[in-house]
Amino acid sequence: MKVLVINGPNINFLGIREKNIYGTKNYENLCSYIKDESKKLEVDVDILQSNIEGEIIGYIQDAYEKYDGIVINPGAYTHYSIAIYDALKSVSIKTVEVHISNIHSREEFRRKSVTAPACIGQICGFGFYGYIMAIMGLIKEDEV
């Protein structure tokens, strides 16, 4: 199985931003963790990050017919990017939305995801492990 992990705005500032919410591990720690755990699951994974909505849409469109699944953390775009929602729907690749923090226990505006309905599921609040849970969900979904 081949999975594309897409991280949205400010995820590259892990370890710098809001340590009380996101912890002290940095973006490189996250990428290494995902790659190491994916190897154990025998999943080929590529990881991309952008702070720019159009680039994220480009990553999604470029995944068409190249990947079996997408794991996406749209960051703040979660709450208002109909364009990312449309891109996910257009490629018909099984996708899981993931968030490091529990978006449902944070500010009211963070509790609504406009991108999650384009996904087979949403995982939030489990830190870095949420990415692995998302990949495992794609594996199980692929077995059905």
Contact 3, 38 (CB under 8 A): yes
Annotated catalytic residue 129: no
Distance in angstroms (rounded) separating the CA atoms of residues 65 and 77: 24
Whether residue 104 lies in the annotated active site: no
Say which of 27, 99, 104, 129 is annotated catalytic.
Answer: 99
The pLDDT value given to residue 64: 98
For 29-84, the pLDDT digits (tens) are 999 999 999 999 999 999 999 999 999 999 999 999 999 999 999 999 999 899 99
Q: Which domain holds residue 111?
A: 2-143
Give the number of domains in the chain. 1
pLDDT band at 138, cuts 50/70/90?
Answer: very high
Instruction: Say whether pLDDT at 21 is over 80.
Output: no
Helices (H) and strands (E) in the chain, counts: 5, 5
Instruction: Tell me how far apart the alpha carbons of residues 85 and 77 are, in angstroms, rounded to a whole number.
Output: 10
Q: Residue 73 CB: number of other CB atoms within 10 A?
A: 24
**Poorest-pLDDT segment among 3-7, 50-54, 109-113, 119-123:** 109-113
C-alpha 121/C-alpha 99 separation (Å) is 12
Burial category of 120 from C-beta neighbours within 10 Å (exposed 0-12, middle 13-18, buried 19 and up):
middle
Q: Which of 22, 67, 77, 131 is catalytic?
A: 22
**Residue 96 to residue 79: CA distance in whole angstroms:** 16
pTM score of the predicted model: 0.92
Torsion of CA 3, 71, 143, 87, to 10 degrees: -90
Tell me the CATH number at 62: 3.40.50.9100
